[in-house]
Amino acid sequence: MDTRLLRTFTTLARTGSFTAAAAELHLAQSTVTVQIRALEKDLRVRLFDRLPSGAVLTDTGARLLERAQHVLDAEDRLHHEAHTAAPIEGSVTLGASESLCAYRLPLAVAALSRDLPTVEIHMRAVGSPSEASEQLSSGRVDVSLLLESRVDIPHLETEVIGHEPLALVAAPGHSWVEAETSPRHPGEQVDLGELAELSEQTFFLLEEGCCYSDDFARQLLATPGEPPRITRFGSIEAVRACVEAGLGLALLPVVSVAADLASGRLHTLRNFPEFPILMLRHRSRWTSPAAQTVMARLRRLAAEGWVGG
């Protein structure tokens, strides 16, 4: 089997677009179409449904995707071992949660691109451990970074590379801002029972699946008395905007509201225990030298507080 067809298959599965796949592979769009048809004819199955929104994997295509990626991993490893003195090069796709994608990785990737000009680095949003698992297994991403207390998925290897400070924030006009005199230090436990009129407050949190938001929601609902109102959104920007407008409070990574805190648009009520940044890779998939190098640089940047970005 021509592995070029498999590479086109995995690229189209990752991008979901014949146009995007052609651009990434430096091929004409018609060539991508021909190669996918050739692979489907060879395997005697339909790999994609062609929809107005793009190319969507069929159930069979999704099942074969991980197998195809293993074949390509083996080919890449063979080429690497045949040229061990060759410079580090290739493509690395990083999956990451929203706050890391938006506030940590852009400068980090820019620094990596300057230091590793022969390595092409892509970013892809990953919302949960299960999504990270699927994307790592299918080869859509090579490495994932998540804000999670732990990930217990047997085929994923995880390591803590840093910690992200969290804070409970409110707009300057909130009644708790005037009453608050001593924000807690990072790592100090927060007693929600100390907060006055908790049941009368509105908290804006990220949607279910965000580990630190889920933990905080459970704490709020477990506090004696009437529970507060909790509204959950799919983006940090939506949460931040509601809090800045004075509609309630939110628990967010400090980095996501650093500019608002510095300008006075938001105020810190409590500093919460820092949350781990986990780096995940697939145990059974080969990690290319380019991916290994990127992982090593990310460990260093996280240890330095991302100042190297």
Alpha helix ranges (H) inside the chain:
3-15, 18-25, 29-43, 59-82, 98-103, 105-115, 129-138, 175-179, 211-222, 236-244, 258-263, 289-303
**Lowest mean pLDDT, pick from 47-56, 63-72, 161-170, 187-196:** 187-196
Residue 8, domain extent: 1-64
The predicted pLDDT at position 219 comes to 87
Last residue of a domain, one of 9, 43, 64: 64
Q: Contact, 99 vs 251, CB < 8 A?
A: no
Phi, psi of 250, deg, nearest 5: -155, 150
Rounded CA separation 115/84 (Å): 20
Q: Contact, 32 vs 18, CB < 8 A?
A: yes
**247, 250, 256, 258 alpha-carbon torsion, rounded to 10°:** 80
Residue 145 belongs to some domain of the structure: no
What CATH number does the domain containing 233 carry?
3.40.190.290
Of 3, 38, 35, give the one whose Cα is nearest residue 22: 35
Q: CA end-to-end span of the chain, whole Å?
A: 42
The predicted pLDDT at position 14 comes to 86
Half-sphere exposure of 80 (CA within 13 A, CB side): 15
> Tokens in use for 61?
């295509």
Last residue of a domain, one of 45, 64, 83: 64
pLDDT band at 199 (very low <50, low <70, confident <90, very high): confident
Residue 302 belongs to some domain of the structure: no
pTM (predicted TM-score): 0.69
Residue 144 belongs to some domain of the structure: no
**Lowest mean pLDDT, pick from 42-56, 69-83, 153-167, 234-248:** 69-83
Residue 136 belongs to some domain of the structure: no
Residue 116 belongs to some domain of the structure: no
Helix (H, G, I), strand (E, B) or coil at 89: coil
Q: If residue 91 lies in a helix (H) or strand (E), which one and from where to where?
A: strand 90-96
Strands (E) in 155-199, as ranges, are 156-170
Which range of 84-88, 137-141, 214-218 scores highest in mean pLDDT? It is 214-218
Last residue of a domain, one of 14, 30, 64: 64
What CATH number does the domain containing 48 carry?
1.10.10.10
**Looking at the predicted structure, is the pLDDT value of residue 153 above 70?**
yes
The predicted pLDDT at position 192 comes to 58
Of 220, 209, 223, give the one whose Cα is nearest residue 250: 220
Residue 280 belongs to some domain of the structure: no
The predicted pLDDT at position 203 comes to 94
**Looking at the predicted structure, is the pLDDT value of residue 184 above 80?**
no
Residue 41 belongs to some domain of the structure: yes
pLDDT band at 174 (very low <50, low <70, confident <90, very high): confident
The fraction of the chain above a pLDDT of 90, given in percent, is 55
Q: What is the pLDDT of residues 214-228, one digit of tens each?
A: 999 998 888 887 888
Q: What does the mean pLDDT of the chain come to?
A: 86
In degrees, to the nearest 5, what angle opens at C-alpha 125 toward C-alphas 58 and 256?
A: 160
Residue 113 belongs to some domain of the structure: no
pLDDT band at 189 (very low <50, low <70, confident <90, very high): very low
Rounded CA separation 181/160 (Å): 33
Q: What is the pLDDT of residues 271-301, one digit of tens each?
A: 888 899 999 999 888 888 899 999 999 998 9
Instruction: Give the total number of structural domains in the chain.
Output: 2
Half-sphere exposure of 46 (CA within 13 A, CB side): 7
**Looking at the predicted structure, is the pLDDT value of residue 183 above 90?**
no
The predicted pLDDT at position 187 comes to 42
**Looking at the predicted structure, is the pLDDT value of residue 5 above 50?**
yes
